[in-house]
Chains A and B, each alone.
Chain A
Amino acid sequence: MSSSVSYHPSRDLLRLLTAGSVDDGKSTLIGRLLHDSGALPEDELAAVYKASRERGHEFDPSLVTDGLRAEREQGITIDVAYRYFATAKRKFIIADTPGHEQYTRNMVTGASTADLAVLLIDARKGVLTQTRRHLYTAWMLGIRNIVLALNKMDLVNFDQEVFERVKSSFLDYAGPLRFRDLQFVPMSALEGDNVTRTSERTPWYGGMPLLNILETVPTREEQAAGNLRFPVQLVIRPSQDVRVYAGQVASGTIVPGMEVMALPSRQRTRVERVFLHTAELQEAYSPMSVAVSLRDHIDLGRGDMLCDTLTEPPESHSFRAKLFWMSPAPAALHGAYLLKHATQTVCMNISHLHHKLDINTLQELPAASLSLNEIGEVTVQTHKPIFCDPYHVNKITGSFIVVDPIQNSTVAVGIITGEERPAANHGHPSLAESVSSAASHKGLTVWMTGLSGAGKTTICQAVYTEMLARGIRVEMLDGDTVRQNFSRNLGFSKEDRTENVRRIGYVAGLLTRNRVVTLVSAISPYRAARDEVRAQIGRFLEVYVNAPFQVCEQRDPKGLYRRARNGEIRGFTGLDDPYEPPLVPEIECRTDQESVKDSVDKVVTAILGAIE
């Protein structure tokens, strides 16, 4: 391994966002954090003490962070400000964002890169409309760790009842948003209670002070999982016949020797080297900036992308997105804009505005346009395809900015939605908190068996997305993909089918042991073969994806039944080869009777229960 990339670092980096309504005490809290963690130099400290005295206080932590002159004059924070401090465990970057509704765009900016959000609430006022807006904004931008700082507890005598009341009213609203981790901290930023030290005035509070939470919350790791997305930033050509592709890995892992597909050309080749400067790397993952060379000369330049060959690569020139409008000039439907996505810029227009969102009530309202600080669900069309994923799967390939081609200003930001929406209130609030920390979950093999066309892949992919969205380590082994890769030499005889299942089972076992939730979808028709795998892996959940033969034949999504009937395929499961259904599957999904969502929810609930 190279000398310059440290794989077992002593300190990592946590990016966090702070938000709150004006006067909830945000500046005070940040000042307190910087002050108590020893981040402030002596001379700055002296200046703060001096300014505090001029205002008649002994020490006012809010003066630590006052920024631009214009703001000082108006006495408010108007833009995102970044602050830095470090402890022995971590370096922290705080995006300090303003609270006013008119500055929601600044909060969106700060939230885009944050791993965690600290939302302030004034204990006397409880949950306000503003709090809801902040929470939703954080959620929309993919932050799944939230700390609720109930500030000014000194003004309510550190009363536990007040704390519990605010907490439960907050949970009412936050439940359906399914946060990975919600923590509530009773606090006095002014006096330092539960900021960096446990307060003696809240003996009823069993949790950690804020700083300890920040030091121990898991940082974003899930990008290392998932499919390879490597947007090419630059082609470096030090000489005529050397080409090196420079970029930052957006997700997945790139490894020398692996097969990759270039988009949009769809040419396949293998990775030759992965390196950075003079260091050769055995692998690179998000967010590493590296250089890559390939075995063959293929058509590849800035704006293109390298993907793995395990799944169908993403490519689209029409997709649904949530747009956050940031310009005083309202959105022009069908007007021409530029869209910057990963490393490419293309022309786009908004072809349809489905609705706008009242961010305070989460109601969807009919709309003719979008104005400053409004959020709308739109369909975007681009003049050439972009290589995108839903935002909740991949923040980098799922996000874009919209640029006005005349003014050159950034007028909006967008996130590609796919299917993710907040679940309705009657949903599964228990799911929200059942996995409190991704780092600690166990591995599991989820084995989906059933006839061709029964719906295994559909359920599998939806479950995969749900897992990713919760920050759970997950991998997918799809029968078809496996057969194109490491079972390429196998046919469909009984021996070969059994061997295929054994291979899948072996890989699934390795992954499960490494605490990955492994989703297998394979016909796997023989009971004995499945039971053998079950016995070997142990942590095993069998899902019988069940639809009657006639239904599957009628669906025939890959045209296989037709070909089997015509005699083009022999030994087809259900027709001239047996399918042996599980006798006592952990879960059965009757895909002819229930909706995909029903099936997915069943599987997800069972997984969450099994990996805790």
Chain B
Amino acid sequence: MSHRRLSHLDALESESIHILREVRAEFSRPAILYSIGKDSSVMLRLAQKAFYPGKIPFPLLHIDTTYKFREMIEFRDRLAADLGVNLIVHTNHEAIAAGANPFKLGTSKCCALLKTKALLDALAEQKIDAAIGGARRDEEKSRAKERIFSFRDSFGQWDPKNQRPELWNLYNGRIEKGQSVRVFPLSNWTELDVWEYIERERIPVVPLYFAKPREVIVRGDLVVLPEHNMPWQAGDHLETVTCRMRSLGCTYCSGAIRSQADTVPAIVEELKEFRRSERENRLIDHDQEGSMELKKREGYF
């Protein structure tokens, strides 16, 4: 009778499962936006738990910019087959054919075409009314105020000044045709929570997260994996560095970090020590102050 108190991971898990079940109950065509990263992996485990002994009742939607790491794509295809879920892959082929890449267009224009536009097109094409994403509020300042059910108008845009109040565990999921919501069941998780959960649940993640000696391009403080004919800049040189990815994006825009953490427990330990933000090695957040918020207003996830 005395110790009826949940651990923080159990409390977070329970909240996320409740959210996923609400989405299932209140929307007609939800989909999980599957990014292949660690947060997506946790999301899938939560969805498995939420609907067991049934199957995950949502398709997975992956926006493929074609600049993803090879290991990510392999991991994605294997996982979808194992879970028996429907995987929808969408690419903005038009833009790719026109030669869109971050060097030609700059990172923000490239993201706008290959991620934001591709996502909005895919949601419209699939008539998805609730897109479930793995974003966390601790990732970036502008996310701190985002709701768990985040309303988007018929152009997919977010209005930070006009959000629906969200109280207790009561989510208002009512929308008109053409409108949609983004749902963030992991809102209250931190990066450390995610890794602790991966450890506890033994959730498989892409091997790129684990440190090993890799041949990389060293560019000042940055360490970049040479995939997709990464263009060289003055001063770049190749080196073998023990490193890992902290967050996974496109090859051109995600750097690796120097690290010895080659197992999940080692990563958890590293994070407890570590005092760097997770997105620091992502180039996109830095190209403009407050840039993530601008992207979000335009419909970036």
Which A residues form the contact surface with B (CB < 8 A)? Answer: 4-13, 38, 40-45, 65-70, 72, 78-84, 86, 90-91, 93, 96, 105-106, 108-109, 112-113, 219, 221, 224, 233-234, 236-238, 242, 244, 246-248, 253, 276-278, 285, 287-289, 291, 302, 326, 338, 340-341, 343, 395-396, 399-401, 403, 408-410, 413, 473, 514-516
Contact = CB atoms under 8 A, between A and B. Distances in A.
Contacts of B81: none
A385 B24 CA distance: 24
A219 B160 CA distance: 31
B125 to A, nearest CB: 24
Contacts of A7: 3
Nearest to A473: B1
Contacts of B7: 6, 9-13
Nearest to A249: B14
Contacts of A248: 14, 17-18, 169
Contact of A82 (B2, B49, B144, B168): B144
Given A13-B12, A65-B141, A91-B8, 7 more contacts: A5-B10, A6-B7, A9-B8, A10-B7, A12-B5, A68-B142, A233-B18
A39 to B, nearest CB: 9
Nearest to B7: A9
Interface stretch (B29-37, B109-117, B247-255, B272-280): B272-280
A75 to B, nearest CB: 15
Contacts of B164: 409-410
B141 A13 contact: no
B160 A70 contact: yes
Contacts of A238: 53-55
Nearest to B179: A408
B167 A109 contact: yes
B277 to A, nearest CB: 4
Given A41-B277, A43-B280, A68-B160, A84 B188 contact: yes
A10 B6 CA distance: 10
A345 to B, nearest CB: 9
Interface string B1-45: 111111111111111011001101100000000000000000000
Contacts of A221: 4-5
Interface stretch (B58-66, B170-178, B234-242): B170-178
A609 to B, nearest CB: 23
A338 B176 CA distance: 15
16 contacts: A42-B276, A67-B142, A68-B160, A82-B188, A86-B190, A91-B190, A96-B144, A221-B5, A238-B53, A276-B17, A276-B49, A287-B14, A326-B165, A396-B168, A401-B167, A403-B174
Q: Is the interface of A mostly helix, strand, loop or mixed?
A: mixed
A410 B25 CA distance: 19
A234 B166 contact: no
A40 B165 CA distance: 28
A395 B168 CA distance: 8
Contact of B141 (A66, A96, A224): A66
B187 interface: yes
Contacts of B50: 246, 289
A69 B290 contact: yes
Interface in B273-295: 274-277, 280, 290, 293-294
A237 B52 CA distance: 10
Nearest to B146: A82
A70 B161 contact: yes
Contacts of B142: 67-69
Contacts of B187: 82
B54 A237 contact: yes
A236 B53 contact: yes
Nearest to B174: A408
A105 B275 contact: no
Interface string B136-153: 011001101100000000
B144 A13 contact: no
A106 B162 CA distance: 12
Nearest to B21: A233
B96 to A, nearest CB: 31
B83 to A, nearest CB: 13
Contact of A289 (B14, B144, B174, B188): B14
B201 interface: yes
Nearest to A413: B167
Given A38-B275, A80-B145, A237-B54, A396 B4 contact: no
Contacts of A68: 142, 145, 160, 293
B193 interface: yes
Top 6 closest pairs, chain A to chain B, by CB: A9-B7, A112-B167, A224-B4, A289-B17, A408-B174, A91-B8
A343 B166 CA distance: 15
A356 B55 CA distance: 49
A246 to B, nearest CB: 6
A43 B277 contact: yes
B144 A67 contact: yes
B192 interface: yes
B137 A79 contact: no
Nearest to A278: B52
Given A109-B167, A408-B176, A288 B14 contact: yes
Contacts of B193: 91
B160 A79 contact: yes
A338 B8 CA distance: 34
A260 to B, nearest CB: 19
B13 to A, nearest CB: 7
A9 B172 contact: no
Contacts of B201: 4
A90 B8 CA distance: 8
Most buried by A among B1, B2, B193: B1
Contacts of B172: 340, 401, 403, 408-410
B165 A109 contact: yes
Most buried by B among A66, A90, A109, A289: A289
A92 to B, nearest CB: 9
B126 interface: no
A400 B170 contact: yes
B86 interface: no
B14 A67 contact: no
B51 interface: yes
A244 B21 CA distance: 13
A414 B274 CA distance: 43
A166 B11 CA distance: 37
Nearest to A3: B200
B48 interface: yes
Contact of B6 (A13, A105, A112, A236): A13
B163 interface: yes
Contact of B145 (A67, A113, A399): A67
A336 to B, nearest CB: 14
Contacts of B192: 86
A10 B18 CA distance: 24
Contacts of B167: 108-109, 112-113, 399, 401, 413
A245 to B, nearest CB: 11
Nearest to A10: B7
A72 B290 CA distance: 10
B138 A84 contact: yes
A227 B97 CA distance: 63
Contacts of B2: 514-515
B6 A288 contact: yes
Contacts of B5: 9, 12, 219, 221
A399 B168 contact: yes
A11 B200 CA distance: 14
Nearest to A402: B172
A145 to B, nearest CB: 15
Contacts of A91: 8, 190, 193
A516 to B, nearest CB: 7
Given A79-B160, A83-B144, A69 B293 contact: yes
Contacts of A45: 275
Contact of B170 (A244, A253, A340): A340
Most buried by A among B7, B55, B163: B7
Given A81-B145, A221-B5, A409-B164, A6 B52 contact: no
